[in-house]
Amino acid sequence: MTYSQFIPPRRTLMGPGPSDVSIRVLHAMARPTIGHLDPEFIRLMDEIKTLLQYAFKTKNALTLPVSAPGSAGMETCFVNLIEPGEKVIVCVNGVFGRRMVENVERCGGIPILVENAWGSAVSLKSVENVLNEHTDAVALAFVHAETSTGVVSDAKGLAALAKNHDCLSIVDAVTSLGGIELEVDAWGIDAIYSGTQKCLSAAPGISPVSFSEKAAAKIQARKHPVQSWFMDLNLVMGYWGGDAKRTYHHTAPVNALYGLHESLLLLKEEGLQSAWLRHSYHHEALKAGLEALGLELTVDECCRTPQLNAVRVPDGVDEAAIRAYLLNTFNIEIGAGLGALAGKVWRIGLMGQSACRENVVLCLEALDSALSHQGYQHKAGAGVAAAELYYSN
């Protein structure tokens, strides 16, 4: 077999992640590689920490990027904070809440589930009832924006409940960071993790995390060793630490961190509030277009994420064929449903660089064509017209 360079196709990424990556980020990743203990790289590490503190809206000293994707950020939080035999209340309203349960179990912890219907937000009342019942729980874990359903839960209210019951809050912000309001310090969140490939619009492979002083103290006071050497923050702190000489822990993904730094610069230049408003703005245009095509968003407006839109597949329409048509004809990637929603929804992402007018109009045009190709009855051109009308107003 003869091998040659791999040249990927140019796609418009409008699925649940990754999102489109800015040309500035791609160029940053192509800069010369230097050593992970080079003084200039250590200076970059300090800037990344400061920029992540800005993105999370926190002053937490223990804020850093884990050298692995968002799932590793999740695992970093659980393996450091949960010891064998400890109870953790876990809110489940989709796939990624269920993954939290698996992490607790693998740590030897005891998960206490608060089940919510897929497509609905976590019920604060149900959580409070379970907290009152299990007064020995050490943590409350929940997903801020559930990627499998497009639902946002009340992170501020849930973190307050955890604090009132002397629990640590562990928060999945993989899909929310940079896309919707998120305030780690003001809301009293103790441990939080995210990913680079969604609203930050960097390449996949890095997981930003942040821990409060209370969470850091629990890590340092553990009775059992952290089950993962690589994710043991007692060791990693020496590499991402403050003023002291950096202790070698692992070879950081230098060029990927160049990309993260550039994406955080873009976020800082735009401003957090402006980024949040941009995601909401383009979501409204997409919603208008989808409704004009006769399509329906599955999540109630009160708890719907603007950056991840779950769209109900109409009766008689081949869900997978629509996605294949968009990919092969228009070079657009949208996502399929997961778990209980598999085959029932499309997941359309408006994340980071993908949240723009050009993508909204292109997606609606492509869906219009794909639906016509399957004989779905709708008014041709209505989707793009509705979105353009929204933008003109």
List the CATH number of the domain containing 383: 3.90.1150.10
Provide the domain limits for residue 301.
Answer: 272-392
In the chain, what percentage of residues exceed pLDDT 90?
94
Who has greater pLDDT, 387 or 243? 387
The total number of structural domains in the chain stands at 2
pLDDT at position 222 over 60: yes
Last residue of a domain, one of 251, 269, 287: 269
Confidence of residue 238 (pLDDT cuts 50, 70, 90): confident
pLDDT at position 374 over 60: yes
pTM (2 decimals)? 0.96
Same domain for 41 and 122, yes or no, is yes
Q: Is residue 304 part of a domain?
A: yes
Last residue of a domain, one of 229, 246, 269: 269
Same domain for 144 and 184, yes or no, is yes
Confidence of residue 354 (pLDDT cuts 50, 70, 90): very high
pLDDT at position 241 over 80: no
Confidence of residue 243 (pLDDT cuts 50, 70, 90): low
Q: Are strands 12-13 and 332-333 parallel, antiparallel or unpaired?
A: parallel
* Sign of the four-CA dihedral 351, 356, 361, 365: negative
In the chain, what percentage of residues exceed pLDDT 70?
99
CATH number at residue 151: 3.40.640.10
* Weakest-pLDDT range from 72-76, 97-101, 167-171, 339-343: 339-343
Residue 244's pLDDT is 58
Sheet holding 296-297, edge to edge: 296-297, 308-312, 345-349, 335-336
Same domain for 44 and 155, yes or no, is yes
Average pLDDT, the chain: 96
Same domain for 70 and 146, yes or no, is yes
Same domain for 109 and 62, yes or no, is yes
Same domain for 132 and 221, yes or no, is yes
Give, in degrees to the nearest 5, the angle at Cα 96 between 95 and 100: 120
* Weakest-pLDDT range from 98-102, 247-251, 271-275: 247-251
pLDDT at position 242 over 60: no
- pLDDT, average across residues 370-381: 94
Give, in degrees to the nearest 5, the angle at Cα 148 between 278 and 207: 70
Q: Per DSSP, what are the bridge partners of residue 297?
A: 311
Same domain for 199 and 107, yes or no, is yes
Residue 246's pLDDT is 76
Same domain for 184 and 309, yes or no, is no
Same domain for 257 and 279, yes or no, is no
Same domain for 188 and 335, yes or no, is no
Residue 248's pLDDT is 83
pLDDT in tens, 154-203: 999 999 999 999 999 999 999 999 999 999 999 999 999 999 999 999 99
Same domain for 281 and 242, yes or no, is no
Same domain for 64 and 209, yes or no, is yes
pLDDT in tens, 4-38: 999 999 999 999 999 999 999 999 999 999 998 89
Last residue of a domain, one of 240, 269, 298: 269
Q: Is residue 4 part of a domain?
A: no
